[in-house]
Structure 1
């Protein structure tokens, strides 16, 4: 059994300037825990693999392609590979999101 506590995982530098912690990293997939402060968000980018966003805490504005939706906790949003997407925290408290990349990307994401 492998147990990973988010609080103990190291913060990973990233071009978005948000707190990013990789909590699962295998060939089959990767799970990253993001903490996004109010008013903060990810730069629009394209990933080479399918991505699923699970909102753990807070309000999240998700934009995938031409679609935009505001979602709350216990919501899963799917983003297909190759489509520009971004997340933003429009709320007054922190946003925590699990980002699941399936499978783990071999190529890097492309910032737009």
Structure 2
């Protein structure tokens, strides 16, 4: 298992829309996407059974979402419920980069998208575009701040999508596990993370993959703040603690 997966935009095509799968799980599909000036992804389309989320990392996206046009800047989240027609294109100068999340991924052998009719509207939910800086934050641990970009309360019932900022003097998290898959995507700074019996340092554009049940702990060793996106798939049920602390230590015992 590669717990740390690198998104390197320079490895993608520079003259067309291109994407690189970072994690393809039963719970979700996560891709890094690069789109140069003038690119078009897909013509107007929809995802019949999958909710889709974008987080704009750099540049600007033009998005037609269920008949409404948006210019989406870096630092914004897009939520597209299953069945909602949309089209994204890139008339602006420069290169756009974004993280693309589909929950749940289409079954193997089936197309990612189906065409939408010109006058087709709607889906089982309401899509939106939100700038992260406009979303109120909260301090969940000393020096650990969180903004909820998408969750059950905003219509995203399959995934919780968050933006975390960690100060270097924050104590970090103890060893714990989750009943769901968790992913971090590093936006800035360095995150020191222990996963099972290995230590890693995750930096900008790294995706950290934490499958359900895998012990881990993390902290920001500095010198400056660290920020990362957080995906919880599926979102824990209301009233359910997301973390379960464990007393984890590797031993030499063998069960073979």
TM-score by length of 2: 0.41
Structure 2, unmatched stretches of 5+, are 1-126, 247-256
> Who is 1:71 aligned against?
202
Q: 1:49 aligns with which of 154, 164, 180?
A: 180
Helix, strand or coil at the partner of 1:7: helix
Counterpart in the other structure of 1:99: 230
CA distance in 2, matches of 1:37, 1:13: 11
Residue 3 of structure 1: aligned partner: 129
The alignment yields a C-alpha RMSD, in angstroms, of 1.6
Q: In structure 2, what is the Cα distance between the partners aligned to 1:84 and 1:3?
A: 34
Aligned partners of 1:47 and 1:110 also within 8 Å: yes
Question: 2:229, 2:223 → 1: CA distance?
Answer: 19
Cα distance in 1 between the residues matched to 2:136 and 2:210? 26
**Cα distance, 1:50 vs structure 2:** 0.5
Unaligned runs of 5+ in 1: none
Partner residue in 2 for 1:39? 169
Q: TM-score, normalised by structure 1?
A: 0.87
Alignment partner, residue 26 of structure 2: none
CA distance in 1, matches of 2:177, 2:157: 20
Counterparts of 1:60 and 1:80, CA distance in 2: 18
